[in-house]
């Protein structure tokens, strides 16, 4: 894991203005990278009893903190607020599925989307797959974007995983911070690219479930250590 990305993480203690700025910088980093060229992605973070999410139809380069939209847990908006991303329903569904998630990144990144369009989840072909929390990165069924049906599919896919592929659509990654969610989205895209290469060579050799369970534990410990180091650094 690189740990080199520049978007600054914040926790719930930080102010709303800082979180809004972080949502923008995460969206910018995503759209400038290979993850999601242009506007084909969206970013949110938990805030209060809801979330702050990128708006619909605005270029990320022009975003101001006031353009980031607060959506309450029941889907209601503040009066006069800009229109949230049309995919806000599955962002809320992700927070409802994962109590540990504080941020969500959704992209149509090339390789993850290619696998999702071929109907292929990512199996345990590499130990890094365990970063998503288990022995695969699952694929959830297709439904029209923006629908409650798609939100239900995403919610089920994220029940036991921090990321999943979305059939005929893209990928979604969650994390304990905006940095962590973006980092996981990069990892999912890298794994997807590697898996496609492996498939071109023949049948992948999969790691056994007990080895993947061990990797999940190792990554959990690694994450806890990294968090402790970060807390120490800030204190
Ligand atoms: Zn999408």
Identify which of 178, 173, 162 has the alpha carbon closest to the alpha carbon of residue 220. 162
> Between vectors from CA 48 to CA 46 and to CA 50, what angle results, nearest 5°?
55
pLDDT, residue 2, reads 39
pTM for the complete prediction?
0.90
Q: Give the Å distance between the CA of 227 and the centre of ligand 1.
A: 30
Query: Across the 235 residues of the chain, what is the mean pLDDT of every consecutive 10-residue run?
Result: 37 75 95 78 95 93 94 92 95 97 96 97 98 98 97 98 98 97 97 98 97 96 79 75
Active-site residue list:
87
47 C-alpha to ligand 1 centroid (Å): 22
Going from the Cα of 107 to the center of ligand 1, the distance in angstroms, rounded, reads 6
In the reported structure, the alpha carbon of residue 13 is separated from the centroid of ligand 1 by a whole-number distance in angstroms of: 30
pLDDT at position 65: 95
Partner residues linked to 171 by β-bridges: 107, 165
For residue 161, what pLDDT is reported? Answer: 98
Query: Which SS3 state, helix, strand or coil, does residue 187 take?
Result: helix
CA of 14 to the centre of ligand 1 (A): 28
Ligand 1 center–CA 109 separation, angstroms? 10
**Alpha carbon distance 41, 229 (integer Å):** 31
Distance 201 CA to ligand 1 centre (A): 30
Residue 154: per-residue pLDDT: 98
Query: In the prediction, which pLDDT does 155 show?
Result: 98
pLDDT value at position 233? 77
CB 215 within 8 A of CB 59: no
Sheet hosting strand 50-53, strand order edge to edge: 69-72, 50-53, 41-47, 103-107, 170-175, 163-166, 139-140
């Amino acid at each position: 894991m690189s740990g080199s990305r520049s978007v600054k993480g914040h926790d719930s203690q930080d102010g709303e203005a800082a979180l809004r700025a972080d949502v923008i910088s995460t969206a910018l980093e995503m759209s400038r990278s290979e993850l999601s060229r242009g506007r084909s992605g969206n970013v949110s973070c938990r805030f209060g009893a809801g979330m702050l999410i990128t708006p619909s139809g605005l270029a990320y380069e022009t975003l101001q903190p006031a353009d980031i939209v607060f959506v309450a847990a029941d889907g209601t908006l503040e009066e006069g607020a800009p229109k949230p991303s049309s995919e806000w329903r599955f962002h809320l569904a992700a927070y409802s599925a994962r109590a540990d998630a504080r941020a969500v990144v959704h992209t149509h990144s090339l390789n993850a989307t290619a696998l999702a369009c071929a109907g292929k989840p990512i199996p345990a072909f590499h130990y890094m797959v365990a970063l998503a929390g288990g022995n695969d990165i699952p694929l959830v069924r297709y439904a029209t974007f923006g629908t409650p049906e798609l939100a239900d599919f995403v919610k089920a896919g994220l029940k036991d995983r921090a990321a999943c592929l979305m059939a005929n659509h893209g990928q979604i990654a969650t994390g304990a911070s905006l940095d962590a969610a973006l980092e996981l989205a990069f990892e999912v895209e890298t794994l997807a690219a590697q898996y496609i290469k492996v498939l071109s060579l023949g049948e992948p050799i999969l790691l056994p479930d007990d080895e993947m369970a061990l990797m999940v534990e190792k990554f959990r410990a690694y994450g806890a250590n990294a968090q402790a180091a970060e807390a120490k650094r800030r204190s």
